[in-house]
Structure 1
Amino acid sequence: MLNNKIKNVVLFAAVTIILVACSGSESKKEKKADEPIYKVPVEATLLEIGKITNTYKTTAILEARAESKVTNKVSGMIVDILVEEGMVVEKGDVLAEIDSENYLLELERTNIDLESAIAEFNRSKPVDGRQLVAVKDLEKLEFLVKTRRNQQKVAQIQVRDTKVRAPIAGVVAERMVKEGNMTANPGGVMFSIVALDTLQGVVYLPESEINNVHVGQQANLEFPSTAAAIPATITLISPVIDTDSGTFKVTLNVNNDDYRLKPGMFAKVSLTLDERQNTQLVPQRALLVTDTETSLYVVEDNKAKKMVVETGYEQNGLVEVLTPLDAQTPIIVVGQQSLEVGADVKIIGQDL
């Protein structure tokens, strides 16, 4: 009888322990179920539809399209200098004068010699059909007249060249002589003139872009000294590819009527090669780029979804996405680097 009572007590205690244990387990499960799910905070934006251009950027050094080294054609003392560095000159303007006294005397001598030869030739011409001198002598006199006339022209040119004139219109960049100097020999450089109204810059583009450029195409130049971009125009395209660099030469013309720009200035060149309208644009920071793929994360049902995409042009922090995207689906731009596919996310920072 006692043994039965002990068995009943032990059985009751065991059942009580089991019930307590089960009750504790259920309460823990209920507690875990009540805990909130952690959501990764991210920033996101919506797809943008707009225009994007394929812009090639390089550098160039400006140079004068026309430049001339002005030399003396006759020798002598420089008696007057009429221009200084920085002055604007037109083609044909007198820059300096060389002493012309000797050349004027030489011109006078050739004039006298020519007049004498003409007079002798005229006296020796046939009169009333009668030959006054031998035909051979008359021909010599005729040749003498031609020779004297050529000598006169040379003397006239020498007198003309005592006035040193500008061969092109432009700005006097450098003056190498002083008043009172002797120009010992013809051919000495006296002035340097550059045409500043039109400057040019030379750039070299990769072979892959040769079908994307054409004469008349516009480019923009930026300089440290100017706030706004200055337009330029492609005027020459080399038909030859350099085998060492794989590039071809392109020449840009820059209008410089106000003389703001100077030869030798360093320019940043932006050349628009192509333009696309109504294309899908996403911020560049939204993309995850590896050696094998380019991807981005979107938010669907508050979960992160990874999409592998194909991209096109890049411009000003935006990238063209060629893979179709939903315009209403948020694209994660911050926080995607550590995301796992299917992770719960919470968009912060803006209303979408």
Structure 2
Amino acid sequence: MRLNSLATSLLSLFLVTALSACNEEKVADKEKKVYQVPVETTLVDNRTITNTYRTTAVLEAKAESKVTNKVTGMINKILVEEGMSITKGQILAEIDSENYLLELERTTIDVDSAVAEFNRSRPIDGEQLISVKDLEKLEFLVKTRKNQQKVAAIQVRDSKVRAPIAGVIALRVVKEGNMTANVGSEMFTIVALDTLQGVVYLPESEMNNVHVGQQAYLNFPANAKELPATVDLISPIIDTESGTFKVTLKVNNDNHVLKPGMFAKVSLTLDVHDNAQIVPQKALLVTDTETSLFVIQDNKAKKVTVVTGFEQDGFVEILTPLNALEPVVIVGQQGLKIDSAVKIIGEEETQKKNVELTTTNNAVKENADKQATQD
């Protein structure tokens, strides 16, 4: 009986020991098989980043004039066509001036007659030929007739329609041989192409970051060109509905490549930060309550809540101090949790390159030191 009890006890002990060993092996195997989340990383870069405001604008002529007729009549000649460059004062069209020339001749005769009568009525050798009152009337008549003569001369002058500004004929409304409409009817439109302008509207928060003469760039999809522009005017008024203010950009167009009405994409640099912490924008995890990213410490993911600054070309400035030696996760962070084990894709190749680079740098430094010693 004692032998049976002892055998039973030994058997139980053996089974317990065996089961414990199996459990330990399973736990060890489980620990060995901890899943590592594959991620891609990059290191924090320190460089210059700019705050660039991007918007669109439509070009318009800074100087534009709608030429109208000041007198009426038959249009005898049209001397310009659309697209022609003209100078200030150049004759654009001629209106029949026969009636106006006759009126000028009539008023000239009236002036000569009034002047002759006034001269005959002036005192001779101190003798007053007519009353002072009548002499004053004759003097006033001379002035009135001369004013009428000037008006007639102006009508003769205005029968030749002239350009009030230099530029290009953008539109011709009238035709040769037709009668002009009422005085003040549009005949031509002239635009000055040497300098064009684009109007943009910036948010109120950028008011202190914009100044006259500031550099901007305009990109034109129509001809795939990017041209510089400068801030010419800044409105001092904030639109209460949109919270924006008006900024006028000046564009040099001496070669007349650009045309009014062209669509442009505007890039205006508002501020520059030097030596800023820069990471790819895709590294960020943005929610309603916070912006964060994951860094790698001892092959584990650590979540860092960050404050961001400027954004430029797919990169973002991080205002929260980061460790430059801790890799930042840029791919795979959606599958990470705090303290998740990670496997950095391409880490071995990166380490190899770093070792090669360090070796090369050391060799270069050693050679430089030897050279300095020899010198």
| TM-score using structure 1 length | 0.91
Relative to structure 2, which stretch is displaced further, 146-155 or 17-26?
A: 17-26
1:126-166 superposed Cα distances (whole Å, 9 cap, x missing partner): 22222222222222222222122112211111111111001
Which residue identity is paired with 2:318? Answer: V
For 2:133, the equivalent position in structure 1 comes to 136
For 1:242, the equivalent position in structure 2 comes to 239
1:310-329 superposed Cα distances (whole Å, 9 cap, x missing partner): 11111111111111112121
Identify the match of residue 183 of structure 2 among 182, 186, 191: 186
For 2:3, the equivalent position in structure 1 comes to 8
Give the Cα–Cα distance (whole angstroms) in 2 for the partners of residues 50 and 208 of structure 1.
25
Relative to structure 2, which stretch is displaced further, 110-119 or 273-282?
A: 110-119
Tell me if 1:269 matches 2:270: no
Identify the match of residue 113 of structure 2 among 108, 113, 116: 116
Relative to structure 2, which stretch is displaced further, 7-16 or 206-215?
A: 7-16
Shift of 1:221: 2.1
Tell me if 1:75 matches 2:72: yes
SS at match of 2:229: strand
Give the Cα–Cα distance (whole angstroms) in 2 for the partners of residues 31 and 139 of structure 1.
131
Give the Cα–Cα distance (whole angstroms) in 2 for the partners of residues 310 and 184 of structure 1.
67
- Aligned pairs for 1:1-352 (under 5 A) are 4=1, 7-8=2-3, 11-12=6-7, 14-16=9-11, 18-19=13-14, 22-23=17-18, 25-26=20-21, 29-30=24-25, 33=28, 35-349=32-346, 351=350
1:59-115 superposed Cα distances (whole Å, 9 cap, x missing partner): 222222222111111111111101111111111111001112222222222222222
1:259-316 superposed Cα distances (whole Å, 9 cap, x missing partner): 2222222222222221111110011111111222211111111111111111111111
For 2:362, the equivalent position in structure 1 comes to none
RMSD: 2.1
Give the Cα–Cα distance (whole angstroms) in 2 for the partners of residues 71 and 182 of structure 1.
13
SS at match of 2:237: coil
Larger helix proportion of the pair: 2
Which residue identity is paired with 1:115? Answer: D
Which residue identity is paired with 2:43? Answer: L
Shift of 1:341: 1.5
Shift of 1:345: 1.2
Shift of 1:28: 5.6
Structure 2: gaps spanning 5 or more residues: 352-375
Aligned length in residues: 347
SS at match of 1:183: coil
> Any conservation in 1 of the 2:37–2:335 contact (CA below 8 Å)?
no
- Which ranges of 4 or more aligned residues in structure 1 deviate by more than 6 Å? none
Relative to structure 2, which stretch is displaced further, 331-340 or 132-141?
A: 132-141
Give the Cα–Cα distance (whole angstroms) in 2 for the partners of residues 229 and 49 of structure 1.
28
Which residue identity is paired with 1:33? Answer: A
Which residue identity is paired with 1:267? Answer: A
Give the Cα–Cα distance (whole angstroms) in 1 for the partners of residues 296 and 227 of structure 2.
43
In structure 2, relative to structure 1, the CA distance for the partners of 1:46 and 1:179 (3 Å cut) is: same
SS at match of 1:337: helix
SS at match of 1:273: strand
Give the Cα–Cα distance (whole angstroms) in 2 for the partners of residues 26 and 317 of structure 1.
54
Shift of 1:24: 5.8
SS at match of 1:117: helix
Give the Cα–Cα distance (whole angstroms) in 2 for the partners of residues 319 and 187 of structure 1.
58
Identity of aligned residues (%): 68
Structure 1: gaps spanning 5 or more residues: none
Give the Cα–Cα distance (whole angstroms) in 2 for the partners of residues 186 and 309 of structure 1.
69
Which residue identity is paired with 1:291? Answer: D
Give the Cα–Cα distance (whole angstroms) in 2 for the partners of residues 77 and 14 of structure 1.
133
1:138-197 superposed Cα distances (whole Å, 9 cap, x missing partner): 222222221221122111111111110011111111111111011143222111112222
| TM-score using structure 2 length | 0.86
Give the Cα–Cα distance (whole angstroms) in 2 for the partners of residues 67 and 136 of structure 1.
52
Shift of 1:17: 5.7
Relative to structure 2, which stretch is displaced further, 94-103 or 28-37?
A: 28-37
